[in-house]
Chains A and B, each alone.
Chain A
Amino acid sequence: MQSSLFAVLALLVLTAVGFLIGRRRAVAAGSGRASRLHSLPNYYGYYLALWTGLPAFVLLALYGLFGASLVNTLALGELEREAAPLIREYEAQLARDDQYQALAEETQQIEAEALSARNEMFRAEREGGDAERYLRALGALTAQRNEIAAERQVRRDQVASSVAARAPRTIPGVRARAGFEYWRAPSERRELFIADARALAFNEGLASRNTEEIRAAALALRPWEDLFRWSAAGVALALSVAGLAYARTRIRASFRARDRVEGVVGLALMMTSAIAILTTLGIVFSLLFESIRFFASIDWRIHEFLFGLHWSPQIAIRADQVGQSGAFGAVPLFAGTALITLIAMLVAAPIGLMAAIYLSEYASPRLRAWAKPALEILAGVPTVVYGFFALLTVGPFLRQFAMMLGYEDAVTQSALSAGLVMGVMIIPFVSSLSDDVINAVPQTLRDGSYAMGATKSETVRHVVFPAALPGIVGALLLAVSRAVGETMIVVMAAGQGANLTANPLESVTTITVQIVMLLTGDQEFDSPKTLSAFALGLVLFVMTLILNIIALRVVQRFRERYE
C-alpha cells in the first residue's frame, strides 16, 4: 500500500517536473519569444507531462486492477505444482477405491435415468401426458443422486485427508498440503481460501480461519506480491523517466506540440465513447458465454428451456446438494412475466395516455404546474419503494378484498398486486413519452379540425391521436420493455412459485425474479442452476432489445414525419 502510494506521489512530482521542463525548453527554443514557437509554451509542457505521466499511470492502473489476481494465480499455481505428488496419489487411490468407483457408476446410471425421465416429461408436456409424475420421479432421482454425491464427497474427503496426512510436517510438506487443499476446493471455497490467505499475509481484514495451510499460502503470496509491487513501481518510474527523456529531445520551436496534445485529448474522447460499445459487447458476450455453458450443462436441450412447462432449478431438497439436475422449462416464467406486464400495461396505458392528453390539451397552466412535478416524483421513486408498497399495502388490501368477495385462496403476493403497482410505476413513463409525442403533432392539424367545428375531444380522438399513434405505439413498446425488465417490484410482490396460471390472484414468478433468486444467497458457480440465470438474462436482454429497437425506430420515423 505504502509503496504504491509512494510511486504515485513520485510520478505526480515527475509529471509536474516534466511540465516545467517542457515549458522552459520551449521558451528557450523560441529564444524567449513565444511568437516564434508553433504552439503556446504551455502546450510543450503538457506534451512532456503526457509522456512522463501517461504510460506510467496506465501501467499502475493495470497493476491496481489486476495485480492482486495475478499474484494469487501465480502463488497458488506454485503451491499446486508442489502438490502434484499428493494429487497424483489422491487420484490413484480414488481409482483403486472400489466403493468409490461403485458409487461413481451408480451416479452415471441415475443420471441416465434422470435424462430419460426428463425426456419423458418433456414429451408428456407436449402431448398432454402426466408430466407431473415425471417431475416427481426426477425429483426423487435427483435426491438420490445428491445423496450418492454426498457419499462420494465423504469418501473423497476421507481419501484426501489420509493422503494429506502422509505429507511430511516440514515446510515443503505444508506447502504441498496447502496446494492440495486449494486444488480440491470448489471455486467459491477457493475464493474464501485466497481471501483468508491474503488477510493473513497483508492484514487485509480478518481471516475466517487460521490453519497451517492458510499460513503457508500467505507465506507463498508474499514474495510474489513484493516482486510485483516493486517491479510495477520500478517499471512505472523507469517508463516515466524514459518518456521524459525522449519527449525532451523533440522540443523545437517548430514542433507542433499543440497538435500532439490535442491528438491525445481527441483519442481519449474517442475511447470514452467506445465504452458504450464495449458495454454492449460485454453484455452480449458475457450472457452468450455463460448461456452456452448452461446449455452445454443441460445437453443442449435449448428447446426444453424455451418450451418446457416445468421450472424447478433446485429440485433436490438436501442441504448438501452438489450439483442439481433440475427441470429448466422456462415457460412458466415467460407466462408470469407476460401476465404481470399485461396487468401493468392495462393500468399504465390508459391512465398514462389520458393524463398526457389532458395535460397537453386541456389542463390550465396552474394544473400543469402541479401535476407534472407529481408525475415526475412518481417516476423518481425507486422501484424498491414500490415493491415495499406492493408487499405491505397493496398485497394485503387485495387479499382482503378478494376474500371479501368470496375468493378464499387469495394470497398476499399475487400477480395482480405486482402488476398494479408496476402499472403505477410506469404511468409517468407512458405519460411523459406520449406527452412529447402529442406535443409534436403540429398545431395546424388541430386548427384544421377545430375550424371544421369539431369539439376538443373529437379533435383529440380523430385527429391528434391518429397522428400521434406511431409515436404512442413506440412509447407503449418502451413501457412494455420497462415492465418486462423491472425487477424489484416483482421480486418483492409477485411471489416465487413457478405457477403456470392466468389467474391474477395467484402468485407467479418472472424472468427477473428467478434471476435474482438464482444469484442471491448461497451460490455455487458453474452449476446449471447458477448458469441458468444467465440464460434467462440472455432471453430478457434479447426480448427488451427487440422491443427497444422497434420502439426507437417507430418513434424516430414519427419525429421525421413532423419535423
Chain B
Amino acid sequence: MNNAPTIRDAVQARLAKRHRAEMRFQFYGLAAISAAVLFLAVLLGSIIIQSIPAFTAHRLVLDVEIRPEIADPRGDGSEASLRRGSYNTLIQNSLRDQFPEAGSVGELRELFGLYSAVNAARLLNEVVNNPEVLGETLPFSLPISDDADLYLKGLTTDEEFLPGAAPLTLEPGMDDALTLRSQTGAPVFDVFLDLVQARQDAALDQARIRAERTAARAAEELDTDTRNSLEAEAQRARDLVQALQEARSDTGPVRLNSQTASLMLRAQGGVLRINALARDGLSAEGTWLVGPDTASQTAQDWSLWVIETPSIARRITDRQIVWARTLKERGLIKNGLNTTLFTNADSREPELAGVAGALAGSILTMVITMLLAVPIGVGAAIYLEEFAPKNRLTDFIEVNINNLAAVPSIVFGLLGLAVFINLFGFPRSAPLVGGMVLALMTLPTVIISARAALKAVPPSIREAALGVGASRTQAVFHHVLPLAMPGILTGSIIGLAQALGETAPLLMIGMVAFIADPPTLGLSGFTEPATVMPVQIYIWSSSAERAFEARTAAAILALLTLLVSFNAVAIYLRRRFERRW
C-alpha cells in the first residue's frame, strides 16, 4: 500500500497510551462495582455489629416472698383484692434483702433503679392466676434496666481491676467512713493517683487548646453576636484552665467526685468506695457499699477496682455498678438470650421493648395491602392487556400508571390523610388505612409486572382457545391467566416486599404512635391503632436511650430477614415456573 507503513507507525505510536486509557476505564468500572458492593457490606456489617448486644440480655432472678399482707390487702384472696396488691414492694423487699446497707431514700431509689417497676405487672398476673402462691416464695425473673445491662456487657463503662500491693489496716473514722492505711508503708494507692494525675493533665491541655482556638476564632469573627459568644466561650475555657491548675498544685487529699474516675476497693468479701486519697498514696478514706463478711481490722487480700468513666459521663451510678456486679457474682443476674425482643410490644423501657407489636401491625397492614393491591392490580392488567380498546383513554391510563409508579411514597401518605382519614373519617393509625395507602402505592408495580406476565403468554394460546369457541373472557380466565400466574405472583410479592419496608406514607396517617399493646390478630385488629416494623425502627432510632441503638439494629435485621424471605419466595417461584415460549 502507498502510505501504509506510516499509518501503521502512527497507530503503533498511540497504542500504549490507548491501552493505558483502556485499563483506566476498566479500573473505574471495577471500582464502581466494588464501591457498591463495599457499601452493601459496610451497611450490613455495621448493622449486624450494632445489633449484637441486643440479642442477649441480663436478667435478675429474685426469690420473691409473696407476703399476703402486701399482695392481698383485703385479705380475702379475691381477684379484686389481689389486683390492688403492691407487687413492686414485694420485688423491692426481695432486692433490699440482698443489700441491707442501702438505707437512705436516695440509695433505695438507686437500688430500685436496677429494674423497671413495670415488671410488677407480670408478678401480679402470676399471682392472680395462681392465688395459692400467697405466702410462698417464688423465683421471679425480670430483665434488669438497660443501663445496668449495657454496663454488664462492658459497653458503656471502662474499668480496670488491680491487685492490692500490701496489707491494709481498716480504722473506723467519722460516721460510716473508714480510714485505710498501708501496713508496710508502701504507697499502695499511687497507681490510681497517677491515673488521676494523667487525666488532669489531659484535661488541662485540652482546655488550653480550646481557650486558644476560640480566642483566635473570636478575633477573626466579624459578626458581633457570634464574636461575643465566642469570646464568652474562650473566657470559660480560661477559667477552667485556671481551676485545673489550682487543683494540680493543691497538696491536700485528692477528693473523688462525679468528674473524676471512681475507685472501689474489694476486701473481706465486701466493696468499699474510696472518697478521698492522701497525696502520698499511703492512706485513703472510704465507706462500705456492700458490707464485709467479717469485721476484722486488717485486710490481707484486697484489690482495687477503678471505674475510669466518670459518673457524670454514664447513666449508671457507682452504687448501681457495685450492686449489679455483686448480684452477678452472687449468681442472681445471668446473661441469656433476649427473648423479650421478640415477644413484647413497644415499651418506653428498652429492656422491655420488643418488635412483636410492630410485627403484628405489619402483618395486618400487609393483609389489607395484599387483598386490595393484588386483585385490583391483576384486574387492571387483564383489562388493559386483554380487553381495552387501543385508544386515547387507555394510552392515558398507561401513562398515568407509569407516572404513579414514580410518585414519591410520601405523597400517597398525604392522599391517605386527606381522603381516607379527613374526608371518609376512617380511624387514624389503623392497619386498615395503612394497608389501603400502601395498596395504592403498590398498585402500579403489580399492574406493570402483571401486564408483562400476560404479554409473555404467546398469542397462539389465546387463538387456540378462541378457536375452539371460548369467549374472550373464558380464553383469558381459563388459559392465559393460569399461564401468567407465576409471573404475576412474582411481581406481586416483590411489590408487597416494597410495601413492607415502606415508612414515610405511614407516618402521615399517624402509624407513628407509641403502641404498648400489640393489635389483636383478628378482624378488630384492622381498626385498632398499630405500628409497623419500619416505623418501629424509625421510632426506636430517634429514642435517646443508648440501649435502643442495638435493638433498632436487631429490628432491622428482623425486617431484612422478612424481606429476604419474601424475595426468596419470589425467586423460587420464578425459577420453578419459568417458562420460555
Contacts and interface: CB of A to CB of B under 8 A. Distances in A.
A544 interface: yes
B25 A548 contact: no
B260 to A, nearest CB: 26
B408 A382 contact: no
B31 A354 contact: yes
A374 B44 CA distance: 12
- Of A354, A359, A545, most buried by chain B (CB within 10 Å of CB) is A354
B206 interface: no
A385 B559 contact: yes
A492 B538 CA distance: 8
Contacts of B542: 492
Nearest to B396: A277
Contacts, number: 271
Contact of A269 (B380, B399, B501): B380
Interface in A264-311: 265-266, 268-270, 272-273, 275-277, 279-280, 282-283, 286-287, 289-290
A65 B502 CA distance: 25
A190 B371 CA distance: 32
Interface string A166-199: 0000000000000000000000000100000000
Nearest to A290: B418
B563 A262 contact: no
Interface of B: 11, 18-19, 21-22, 24-26, 28-33, 35-37, 39-40, 42-43, 46-47, 50, 213, 217, 375-377, 379-380, 382-384, 387-388, 396-397, 399-404, 406-412, 414-415, 417-419, 422-426, 428, 440, 443-444, 447, 471-473, 497-498, 500-504, 507-508, 510, 512, 528, 534-535, 537-538, 541-542, 549, 552-553, 556, 559-560, 563, 567
A68 interface: yes
Size category of the A interface is 35 or more
B443 A484 contact: no
Contact of B424 (A66, A427, A478, A552): A66
A358 B25 CA distance: 9
Given A273-B383, A351-B36, A358-B32, A280 B400 contact: yes
Contact of A276 (B26, B401, B419, B428): B401
A383 B501 contact: yes
A344 to B, nearest CB: 13
Contacts of B567: 380
A475 B9 CA distance: 42
B507 A388 contact: no
A365 interface: no
Contacts of A290: 418
Interface string A484-515: 11111001100000000000000000001001
Interface of A: 65-66, 68-69, 72, 191, 205, 258, 262, 265-266, 268-270, 272-273, 275-277, 279-280, 282-283, 286-287, 289-290, 350-355, 357-359, 361-363, 367, 371, 374-375, 377-378, 380-389, 391-393, 408, 424, 427-428, 431, 453, 455-458, 460-461, 478, 481-482, 484-488, 491-492, 512, 515-516, 519-520, 525, 533-534, 537, 540-541, 544-545, 548-549, 551-552
Contacts of A482: 406, 408
Contacts of A453: 11
A336 B549 CA distance: 27
A431 B380 CA distance: 30
4 smallest beta-carbon distances between A and B, as pairs: A485-B408, A358-B29, A382-B501, A272-B379
B556 A385 contact: yes
Nearest to A375: B36
B40 A384 contact: no
B443 A392 contact: no
B97 to A, nearest CB: 38
Contacts of A431: 36
A283 B415 contact: yes
Contacts of A350: 32
B563 A382 contact: yes
A72 B426 CA distance: 12
Given A270-B388, A279-B404, A392-B46, 7 more contacts: A69-B424, A272-B377, A286-B414, A381-B501, A386-B43, A424-B39, A457-B25
- Of A65, A358, A384, most buried by chain B (CB within 10 Å of CB) is A384
Nearest to B528: A205
Contact of A287 (B414, B497, B559): B414
Nearest to B498: A380
Contact of B379 (A269, A544, A552): A269
A150 B28 CA distance: 64
B402 A552 contact: yes
Contacts of B410: 485, 487, 512, 515-516, 537, 540
A230 to B, nearest CB: 21
A276 B22 contact: no
Given A268-B379, A289-B418, A392-B50, A383 B503 contact: yes
A485 B411 contact: yes
Contacts of B412: 283
Contacts of A457: 21-22, 24-26
Contact of B32 (A355, A387, A537): A355
A275 B444 CA distance: 10
B53 to A, nearest CB: 13
Nearest to B444: A276
B443 A355 contact: no
16 contacts: A277-B396, A283-B411, A351-B36, A352-B32, A371-B33, A382-B559, A384-B535, A384-B538, A428-B36, A457-B25, A481-B406, A486-B408, A515-B508, A519-B414, A551-B406, A552-B403
A491 B542 CA distance: 10
Nearest to A374: B37
Contact of B414 (A353, A363, A382, A534): A534
Contact of B415 (A66, A68, A286, A460): A286
B11 to A, nearest CB: 7
Given A275-B376, A283-B407, A455 B556 contact: no
A272 B428 CA distance: 26
A544 B424 contact: no
Contact of B18 (A408, A458, A544): A458
A269 B423 CA distance: 26
A275 B442 CA distance: 12
B26 A358 contact: yes
Contacts of A533: 414
Nearest to B393: A277
A427 B559 contact: no
B409 A485 contact: yes
Contacts of B396: 277
Contacts of B415: 279, 282-283, 286-287
A455 B563 contact: no
- Of A381, A388, A516, A525, most buried by chain B (CB within 10 Å of CB) is A388
Contact of A388 (B409, B502, B553, B563): B553
Contacts of B30: 358
B32 A351 contact: yes
A487 B413 CA distance: 11
Nearest to A544: B408
Contacts of B40: 374, 377-378
Contacts of A478: 406
B443 A279 contact: yes
Nearest to B509: A519
A545 B408 CA distance: 10
Nearest to A393: B46
Contact of B425 (A68, A280, A371): A68
Given A286-B419, A512-B408, A273 B403 contact: no
A478 B408 CA distance: 11
